[in-house]
Amino acid sequence: MIRLYDFDLSGSCYKIRLLLNILGVDYTRQEIDFVDKEHKTDGFMALNPFGEIPVFEEDGLRLRDAQAILIYLAGKYDPARTWWPTDPAAQGEIAQWLSTGGNELMASAGARLVKILNYDLDLPNLQNRASAAFAILNAHLKNHDWLALEHPTIGDIACFPYTAMAGEGGIALDPYPHIRRWLASMRRLPGFIPMPGIPGA
């Protein structure tokens, strides 16, 4: 039985919900009160000492970090292995975008925390860093339908939510037509689910 420590408004948690739904995997949600900082309580830090959501459990396995969870799920529950192929070169290509989703694009997540939860962070700096990453994504997507390979992978899922929700951090995506095309393609994937801030197709 899979248990996901989850928060509705978290783009990082949504990455996991989205892949679980695409792959048709059942799971139980354990809602974490992120607004009230439940993820920084002793109880939650016993599950993940980094104090971050999501956390994933299945039988004896417990994983933190959205990107690590995507790797596990796509390796285990996608028999066709299109989301995380076994080929080393394909894994390397995808892993680049897992890193981007967990690093540079988290600046967009930070800007959103300032805007929607009044976090005391340097908003202009976060917006500038996110915009720099968006410019790179847009240039890449000019010549590619998906971030890695010729079809959607967990690299796309890792980069999707905090790009799609850039507006909630005060960053307009108007300058990035190729990103907007890619976001629309993501919304049309079989098994796509929306979240607050990311409407359906």
86 near a copy of itself, rule: CB under 8 A:
yes
Q: Scanning residues 5 to 64, which ones bind a copy of itself (CB under 8 A)?
A: 49-50, 61, 63-64
79 near a copy of itself, rule: CB under 8 A:
no
CA distances for 113 relative to 31, 34, 118, angstroms: 19, 11, 6
**CA–CA separation, 162 and 198 (whole Å):** 10
**CA–CA separation, 96 and 194 (whole Å):** 25
Please give the structure tokens belonging to residue 69: 């969870």
* Of positions 91, 115, 116, 128, contacts a copy of itself by CB under 8 A: 91
Closer to a copy of itself at the Cβ: 85 or 169? 85
Closer to a copy of itself at the Cβ: 41 or 103? 103
1 near a copy of itself, rule: CB under 8 A:
no
121 near a copy of itself, rule: CB under 8 A:
no
Q: In what order do the strands lie in the sheet with 28-31?
A: 28-31, 2-6, 55-58, 61-64
Amino acid letter at 42? D
96 near a copy of itself, rule: CB under 8 A:
yes
95 near a copy of itself, rule: CB under 8 A:
yes
Residue with tokens 């079989």: 190
Alpha helices in the chain (DSSP H): 11-23, 42-45, 66-77, 88-102, 106-117, 123-142, 154-164, 177-187
Stretch that binds a copy of itself, among 12-20, 21-29, 33-41, 101-109 (CB under 8 A): 101-109
Least CB distance from residue 201 to a copy of itself, whole Å? 29
89 near a copy of itself, rule: CB under 8 A:
yes
Rounded to 5 degrees, φ, ψ at 83 are -75, -25
65 near a copy of itself, rule: CB under 8 A:
yes
Closer to a copy of itself at the Cβ: 142 or 196? 142
* Of positions 3, 72, 123, 192, contacts a copy of itself by CB under 8 A: 72
The whole-angstrom distance between residue 1's C-alpha and the CA centroid of its chain comes to 22
Residue with tokens 């995380």: 84
Binding site for a copy of itself (CB under 8 A): 49-50, 61, 63-65, 67-69, 71-76, 86-89, 91-96, 98-100, 102-104, 136, 139-140
